[in-house]
């Protein structure tokens, strides 16, 4: 797992907010977050 800096996270959030409504990547990022949470639970 990669630890991102606060600055990197803020930049990514800004970029996601700038995407057009319904952009497929937003759903993909959400799915990735769920998988990360599940992986953390397995530790």
Task: Name the residue ranges covered by the structural domains of the chain.
Answer: 6-41
pLDDT of residue 43: 81
Q: What is the pLDDT of residues 15-43, one digit of tens each?
A: 999 999 999 999 998 999 899 899 889 98
First to last CA, the chain: 12
Kindly report the pTM of this predicted structure: 0.62
pLDDT band at 5 (very low <50, low <70, confident <90, very high): very high
Q: Is the pLDDT of residue 2 over 90?
A: no
> Once rounded to an integer, what is the mean pLDDT over residues 7-14?
96
CB 16 within 8 A of CB 29: yes
């Amino acid at each position: 797992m990669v630890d991102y800096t606060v600055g990197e996270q803020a930049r990514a959030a800004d970029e996601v907010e700038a995407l057009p409504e319904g952009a497929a990547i937003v759903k993909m990022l959400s799915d990735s977050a769920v998988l990360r949470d599940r992986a953390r639970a397995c530790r």
